Amino acid sequence: MTSIKKLKEVFETDFFSQTLFTQYILKSMIKNKAGSILYISSSSALDGNEGRSAYSSAKAAIIAQAKVLSREVGIYNIRVNTIAPGLTDTDMMKKNTPKELVDEVISRISLKRIAYPEEIAKVASFIVFGPIKLYYRSGYKSGWRNVMAISKLEQIKNIKNFALQVRKNILEMAVSAGIDGVHFGGALSITEIVSTLFAYQMKIDKKNPNWEERDRFILSKGHACLAYYAALCEVGYISREELKTFEKNDTNLLGHPVINRNLGIDFSNGSLGMGFHLE
């Protein structure tokens, strides 16, 4: 049987640490009358695996605490939940779990594999943030993305990468059209603004260009359309091949944008400031 010393050691790590952190953040949540607490337990708490008395008990204590706490703080609009993942493909698991045990566990799983960390993270994100609408960023190499569930640093990194590609697209279009015949500087001057909107802020769906709930982009200075087209390429409305047709014969990409919702262009633009009267 597991020694008291070992039990205390495991409980310090797997139970008391989470309890102390909960006590630390709970005061602020109660004050703001809002919050979401998610504990990570384990299937061991439910299955009672042999040889894991300390770990299973600590994780079971987490589940019990979450049930009690949910009843205590629900009146403050604070949600408390627990997820209990099974064996998960992590470096720690590989280091500490014999292959024979992993194989034995897999034999009892209908999928015939263990869980991936990404799967656990997605469940956790859904529980904490709720059913937030996911917006499509097809050209941004991210598919459907929950823009509220990523850190500020990741958001900034994504926008910077997006802006870099927008600049490359602007240069390529300008060279293709003849750099003396395009408003090159005007496009570069709005790159950061356009990138922030299309890479992070705007609600758009390339598969449904007439979606009523979409955000509309109005480019008041239409001559800076190189940046507009470059961003539309990155979110999947315009192909890279079509970018090369900028200001060519029979092109959809003219020197000032012309409404074409299939390309993500909701308004025709020309004169400076004309967007002010549009709603």
76-121: per-residue pLDDT in tens? 999 999 999 988 988 888 888 888 888 888 898 888 998 888 888 8
H or E element at residue 161: helix 152-177
User: DSSP letters of 66-123?
Assistant: HHHHHHHHGGGTEEEEEE---SB--HHHHHHS-HHHHHHHHHTSTTSS-B-HHHHHHH
pLDDT of residue 134: 44
Length of the chain: 279
pLDDT digits (tens, 9 = 90+) for 165-184: 999 999 988 888 876 567 87
What CATH class does 140-277 carry? Answer: alpha beta
CA distance 193 to 170: 15
pLDDT digits (tens, 9 = 90+) for 237-278: 999 999 999 988 889 998 888 999 999 888 887 766 666 655
pLDDT digits (tens, 9 = 90+) for 19-70: 999 999 999 999 988 889 999 999 888 887 677 788 899 999 999 999 999 9
**4-132: CATH number:** 3.40.50.720
Predicted TM-score of the model (pTM): 0.50
pLDDT digits (tens, 9 = 90+) for 130-163: 654 444 444 444 444 445 455 677 788 889 999 9
pLDDT of residue 81: 95
- Per the annotation, the verdict on 229 as an active-site residue is no
pLDDT digits (tens, 9 = 90+) for 184-200: 788 999 999 999 999 88
Query: Which CA distances in Å does 9 have to 50, 54, 83, 120, 208?
Result: 19, 9, 23, 26, 55
CA distance 59 to 70: 17
Residue-range domain boundaries for the chain:
4-132, 140-277
* Cβ contact 262:252 at 8 Å: no
| Tokens describing residue 101 | 């045990």
What torsion do the CA atoms of 191, 250, 172, 274 make, to the nearest 10 degrees? -20
pLDDT of residue 125: 82
Task: From the candidates 39, 55, 135, 200, give the one annotated as an active-site residue.
Answer: 55
pLDDT of residue 141: 41
Contacts of 210 (CB under 8 A, 6+ apart): 261
pLDDT of residue 274: 66
pLDDT of residue 142: 40
Fold match flag (4-132 vs 140-277): yes
